[in-house]
Amino acid sequence: ADLRGFTALSGSQPAAVVIAALNRCLSRLSEVVFKYRGSIDKFMGDSIMVLFGAPVASDDDVDRALMCAVEMQIAMRELNLAHLRERLPEVFLGIGVNTGTVMAGRFGSDVYSEYTVIGEAVNLASRIEALSLRGQVLISDTTYQRCWGLVSASAPMQVHVKGRTQPVSLRELIAIPSHKLKVPRQEFRRSHRVDARLPCLCQRMQDKIVVPHIVHGAIRDIGYHGLLVELIEPLEAHSEIKLEFELPLVDYRVADVYARVITVKQEGDEWVAGLEFTSISDECHAKVQMFVQLLVVH
């Protein structure tokens, strides 16, 4: 599980305030972990790694892990109410849950060692967490197969992660009805946005015809449904444009994609436009998603 929003908090508040807020969040989340008999493997800055079934496995490890994940999200909503009262920015939690075989034991040296777990199942859990959006709980297929009768979850989604040649099937955990636990909807979520410096060609549309004049730009960030682009000349708000750019990580050239200009603002000698895709082929959309997913967990 990873807390998101502490970068904004640390940039606007004294160190003592940031430390107190982080400790308050981690303390409350730890209480939830212990309630469901999980064990905290480690804190990593504003992240927390939790184990269920190590060192001693139980039949209900997966059930307890999922109930813990939902209640952690509920706890975050309560913590954010306290933040609002103190005029602090909200923070959010992204959670990834995976089930698999791991190596558990003491690792290290004569000078220092610690009990922990390692293995591919641990790596995948970390990558699932990286793909989770704010306030979201994502679970692997191996986890879902052990709890499908307990949980309410989304349809499976295929995502690409580093180190895997084939896509991984994930689901969003929505609720555990029998325990009256439901993941709160923290905010409207569409997709990750990842930083990407990519050359881009834009052409305006006029009366549904592509204008020959090409506007050169550079993509600043990109998500599943749109991108932010820097340009040497402005685009008209709400206008339609045609896009072309390369996605080097997935060896794919995006062409014949159309987008609407949602926002435009001037930054020095450049213009920055927020674009939302309006027409994109299934193949192209899949490549954009793959590119974003690989950068998220890179």
What pLDDT, in 10s, does the model give residues 192-232?
789 999 999 999 988 778 899 999 999 999 999 899 999 99
**Cα–Cα distance, 71 to 182 (Å, whole number):** 8
Domain holding 105, by residue range, is 2-182
pLDDT per position as a tens digit, 77-91: 999 988 888 888 888
Same domain, 53 and 100: yes
Q: Of 153, 182, 211, which residue constitutes the final position of a domain?
A: 182
pLDDT on residue 133: 82
* pLDDT confidence bin for 189, thresholds 50/70/90: low
Same domain, 81 and 168: yes
Same domain, 130 and 243: no
pLDDT per position as a tens digit, 244-292: 999 998 999 998 899 989 889 999 889 999 998 988 888 999 999 999 9
Q: Of 158, 182, 206, which residue constitutes the final position of a domain?
A: 182
Q: In this structure, what are the phi and psi dihedrals at residue 100, rounded to the nearest 5 degrees?
A: 180, 180
Contact 133, 189 (CB under 8 A): yes
Same domain, 177 and 216: no
Decide if pLDDT at 186 tops 80.
no
At 248, which CATH number? 2.40.10.220
pLDDT per position as a tens digit, 148-176: 999 999 999 888 887 788 889 999 999 99
Decide if pLDDT at 24 tops 90.
yes
Q: How many domains does the chain have?
A: 2
Mean pLDDT of 226-243: 91
Q: Is 12 part of any domain?
A: yes
Mean pLDDT of 30-50: 95
Same domain, 154 and 253: no
pLDDT on residue 187: 54
CA 267 → CA 119, 227, 236, distances in Å?
46, 17, 16
Q: Is 188 part of any domain?
A: no
Same domain, 25 and 131: yes
Same domain, 174 and 243: no
Same domain, 109 and 165: yes
**Cα–Cα distance, 222 to 158 (Å, whole number):** 19
Give CA angle at 128 (75, 91), nearest 5°: 35
Decide if pLDDT at 76 tops 90.
yes
At 170, which CATH number? 3.30.70.1230
Q: Of 182, 205, 234, which residue constitutes the final position of a domain?
A: 182
